[in-house]
Each structure stands twice: as structure tokens, then as C-alpha cells.
Amino acid sequence: MDISGFMAKLLHRDDIIWLPLKSVLVRTKGTKITAGQMKVLHKDGAPVKIFAGGKTVAFVDYDDIPEKDINTKPSIIVKSRGNIEFEYYDQPFSHKNEMWSYHSNEKSINIKYLYHYLKMNQSYFQGIGSKMQMPQIATPDTDNFQVPIPCPENPEKSLQIQAEIVRILDAFTSLTAELTAELSARKQQYSHYQFELLQFTEATQHLKIGECCDIKKGLTPIKKATPGKYPLVATTQERQSSSEYQFDCAAVCVPLISSRGHGVASIDRIYFQEGKFALGNILCAIIPNDSQVLSAKFLRYYLFDKKDVLLVPLMRGGANVSLTVDSLKKVKIPIPPIADQERIVRILDKFDELVKGLPREIELRQKQYEYYRDLLLSFPKPDEQAA
């Protein structure tokens, strides 16, 4: 896409007019419906989508809500409470009546062009909402917000410019959506193969972890970690640096305290680490006694897949739910032939690499979209009108 040529014609234009959103678009109300009613009325595959803020939605039939409350025009939906954001939707819809939406009756206005502009300024509205005890904005906040209309004296040219901006930005959002769908599919595929590969019959040898592994607790307080060249395995995915190491091996690192706390037993992550590393003091390292009998990476995959069955039930405590080393030693694990373990690890490593790579690609595409969106929509604006 020849963005540079288009931008050269667009960026330094003087023929831009700034107008309040209410003079460009038509604001519509929602429908009176409760969360309970949405749950009762919801039907998979129904034609009308009802938005309730955040990710909460329901699909209903046309006769489930008043006809006057159903919007059939492409619109910008304003999620005005809690997580304040804008969403574009071009199918029949409605929303709870504390929200509102905008559509255009003017042929010279591309509604999606203004959606991208509002999306770029979403943090501005979130800043307004943050001043309230419950984050929220009011209709005047969006009604009076100034939006740029290029070439107002030439509607045809104006629409061409708006359409070209939309085309460029939609290309990025479409790619992001494709990658997100791909990630979802790969995660499902990964879960399926992980489940199938980690099923073992009674014929497979099973041993208690304490019979085939050494378990050692971490010692380094995370907050006092000294900067250095060795990784410090903490209770998040971030690897902080340590000047010293406690282990020089391949190990499975398991949190001994629930990451959620408040009496809720949960293990969000189980780590595989090898080489020289330090370990946070609320984790333990499970080290196979013989790497030719038990692969540490195989053990990590197995424990993570079965954590809700094998580990979470062992956690005890009040505010800080914890897992003891003694209880961990009694957990039985399968010991298939090492060749089978290595085959399973190779397959799951490939899925793991793919699943981890896609979020990075999605993040890159999102940043790319935001860069070009800001570039394309940063029109010259009089100082007194700056938001």
C-alpha cells in the first residue's frame, strides 16, 4: 500500500474543518434490558446482537426487544462505563440503555473513518472517565468532541480521502483479526494434542515424584535480587537477573504459593528451566535423578497439563494457599520409555513455539496499525481546539 504518497498529499492540508461529533453523526439510544433478561433471551445464532459493556453480549431474535430499539445501520458503539471504549458494528444490534451509539445519515461521511478517529482518542475519554468513582463518561463528552472532516467544500473528494484512510487501517485490523483467529485455533489444537499425548495406561510405570526426583526450595528473595547475568525464575513469566545461581541443571519450577491467594487454590504457570539459574523463594525446583529415565521437560508438560487434578487439590491454607514439598513428593507420575518422552516433548515444543510466536506477531501488527492510524489521522488542529 502506497501510504507515503497518500500521506504527502494529506498531512499538510489546510482544508480541514473541525466539527462536534453531534453535528456529523446521529446518536441513538439503547434498550431497557437487564443482565438476567439477556441471559434468558440469548440464542446462539440469533440475528440481533445486544451489547452490555466489556465483552458481555447476547444474541436475540427481532421480536425479543422493541423494534424501535434495533439499529440496522453501521454504527460506533460507545461503551461508557467501566472499561470505556468504542466498537464498530455493521449488523443489526442494540445495547443497554446506559450506553449509546452513533450512525451517519450523510453520504459524505464514512462512519468507519470516524470510528478509527475515536479509537485513536480512546485514552482521552478513559481519562475523563477515570475522574469518577466508577469510570464513566456522559453523552456530552462524545457529542461535543471535535472531529476532523477533510475537504468539507468537496464532499466527493472528502469521501475519497476518508475511504482511503479506512482501507489502509482496515488492512491492518483485518490481518490482526486473522492472526487472532489463528492463535485461537492453534491453542485448541495444542490442547487436544497435549491431552492425547499425555494419556497413559496402567501398563506404564508410575512413580512418586519423591522416588525419582530431588525437590529443593528456592532461596533468593525476588525483591532483593542483585542484577547479574543469571536468570532468576520468579512467579511471573518475566525472568529477572541474578548475580548468583543456586542450580545448574534441568528442572521443573513449581510455585508453592497460589498466585491468586485469598483462599483460592490456583497454579497459573509451571516453568521449565535449565542451565545456571536462581529460584525465587516461593517456588521449588523438581530435578529428575536420572535424565535418561525422566526428562525434566516432559515432566513439566505433564504436571502443567494435570495441575488441576494432581496439584491444586493438595493446596491448603487460608489467605495464602500453599503446596508443601512433602505433598509434592507423593504425587504419582508416569515414566514411559525415554524415547517416548522425547517424542512427546518434540511435538509439544513445536506447538508451544507457535502459540508463543503468534501473540508477538499480533502485538507487532497492532503497533503497526496504531502507528499508521496516528499518522493518517493527525490533522493540523488549531491550538484552541486541542483536546
- Give the mean pLDDT per block of 10 residues along the chain (387 residues): 54 75 95 90 95 88 94 95 93 94 94 95 92 88 94 89 92 82 75 77 90 90 64 70 86 80 67 91 93 95 91 81 91 94 91 77 84 83 51
Quick one: 339 exposed, middle or buried, by C-beta within 10 A (0-12, 13-18, 19+)? Answer: exposed
- Checking 270-275 for CB contacts under 8 A at 24+ apart, the result is 270/300, 270/303, 270/304, 270/307, 271/233, 271/300, 272/296, 272/297, 272/300, 273/231, 273/233, 273/247, 274/249, 274/250, 275/248
Give the span between the Cα atoms of 256 and 280, in whole angstroms.
Answer: 10
296, 252 in Cβ contact below 8 A?
yes
* Contact partners, residue 287, CB within 8 Å, separation at least 6: 213, 214, 215, 216, 247, 249, 250, 251, 296
> 271: helix, coil or strand?
strand
Residue 134, amino acid = M
Q: Report the pLDDT value the prediction gives residue 174, as an integer from 0 to 100.
A: 83
Q: Report the pLDDT value the prediction gives residue 220, as an integer from 0 to 100.
A: 67
Selection from 162, 112, 122 nearest residue 142 by Cα: 122
What are the beta bridge partners of residue 136?
81
Q: Report the pLDDT value the prediction gives residue 261, as an integer from 0 to 100.
A: 45
Q: Report the pLDDT value the prediction gives residue 384, as an integer from 0 to 100.
A: 42
* Contact partners, residue 2, CB within 8 Å, separation at least 6: none
Q: What is the DSSP string of 147-186?
A: EEEE-TT-HHHHHHHHHHHHHHHHHHHHHHHHHHHHHHHH
Reading the block at residue 78, the C-alpha cell is 460507545
Give the span between the Cα atoms of 253 and 267, in whole angstroms.
Answer: 12
Q: Report the pLDDT value the prediction gives residue 266, as an integer from 0 to 100.
A: 75
Give the span between the Cα atoms of 79 and 51, in whole angstroms.
Answer: 9
Strands of 100-103's sheet, edge to edge? 26-28, 100-103, 75-79, 85-89
* Contact partners, residue 363, CB within 8 Å, separation at least 6: none
**Residue whose grid cell is 518475566:** 238
The distance of Cα 224 from the centroid of its chain, to the nearest Å, equals 31
Q: Flag whether the pTM goes above 0.85.
A: no
Q: Report the pLDDT value the prediction gives residue 234, as an integer from 0 to 100.
A: 78
Number of CB atoms found within 10 A of residue 121's CB: 16
Q: Report the pLDDT value the prediction gives residue 387, as an integer from 0 to 100.
A: 43
Selection from 21, 63, 72, 22 nearest residue 43 by Cα: 63
